[in-house]
């Protein structure tokens, strides 16, 4: 993945996206203006229950429609990824976790760049009612590991980076058992 160079100038600061431009030398020695967009980072949480379940969400949002996802959201400009993950789990599900494991950080794109921080939240338990935002309807449900892997391959599953990773993992000898240990041990 290419990175936005340090000398790039931010020409637009939005709610979710910032646009950068810079002069770039080409192979023939000429220059041109390059442009890239950086999206605020996001977090995704694989939340497990003490009973060995994985919590998924059936969500609906205006403009997006209905989809399946893991809990998560965007990292605000003045917050860190783990702080955001803890807040999203509490807001969306009213839950806290006994153990937090930073699992993966994924960098997406070149011209439109984003970063996704993935966490495992073990042994989640409800401590308060969820606090859904006006623009979301969230219906959590728990599944076993096999059904979780099946649902991440469903076209309605929104977290495509996670879905792609888990699809490859299913075809790697021993990887599903390793994932089971990461989620529940």
Collapsed DSSP state (helix, strand, coil) of residue 5: coil
Question: Tens of pLDDT along 76-113?
Answer: 999 999 999 999 999 999 999 999 999 999 998 989 99
| Integer angstrom CA distances of residue 143 from 70, 93, 114, 138, 152 | 12, 15, 29, 16, 12
Angstrom distance (rounded) from CA 99 to CA 79:
20
- Per-residue confidence (pLDDT) for residue 3, from 0 to 100: 86
Question: How confident is the prediction along the chain (185 residues), in pLDDT tens digits per residue?
Answer: 568 999 999 999 999 999 999 999 999 999 999 999 999 999 999 999 999 999 999 999 998 899 999 999 999 999 999 999 999 999 999 999 999 999 999 998 989 999 999 999 999 999 999 998 899 999 999 999 999 999 999 999 999 999 999 999 999 999 999 999 999 98
Tell me the pairing of strands 65-69 and 54-61.
Answer: antiparallel
Angstrom distance (rounded) from CA 56 to CA 78:
27
**CB distance 1 to 109 below 8 Å:** yes
- Per-residue confidence (pLDDT) for residue 133, from 0 to 100: 87
Domains (ranges, CATH) in the chain? Answer: 9-38 (no CATH), 41-184 (3.90.79.10)
pTM of the model: 0.90
E strand or H helix at 15: none
**CB distance 66 to 60 below 8 Å:** yes
Q: Please compute, for residue 145, the number of CA atoms within 13 A of its CA located in the half-sphere on the CB side.
A: 15
């Amino acid at each position: 993945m290419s990175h936005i160079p340090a000398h790039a100038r931010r020409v637009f600061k939005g709610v979710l996206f910032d646009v950068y431009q810079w002069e770039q030398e080409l192979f023939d020695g000429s220059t041109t203006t390059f442009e890239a967009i950086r999206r605020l980072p996001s977090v995704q949480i694989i939340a497990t229950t003490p009973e060995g379940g994985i919590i998924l969400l059936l969500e609906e949002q205006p403009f997006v429609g209905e989809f399946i996802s893991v809990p998560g959201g965007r990292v605000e400009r003045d917050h860190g990824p783990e702080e955001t993950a803890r807040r999203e789990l509490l807001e969306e599900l009213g839950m806290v976790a006994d153990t937090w494991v930073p699992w993966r950080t994924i960098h997406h794109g070149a011209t439109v760049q984003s970063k996704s921080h993935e966490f495992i939240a073990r042994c989640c338990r409800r401590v308060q009612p969820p606090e859904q935002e006006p623009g979301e309807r969230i219906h959590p449900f728990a599944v076993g590991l096999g059904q979780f892997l099946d649902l991440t391959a469903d076209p309605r599953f929104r977290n495509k980076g996670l879905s792609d990773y888990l699809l490859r993992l299913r075809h790697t000898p021993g990887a599903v058992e390793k994932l089971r240990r990461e989620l529940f041990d």
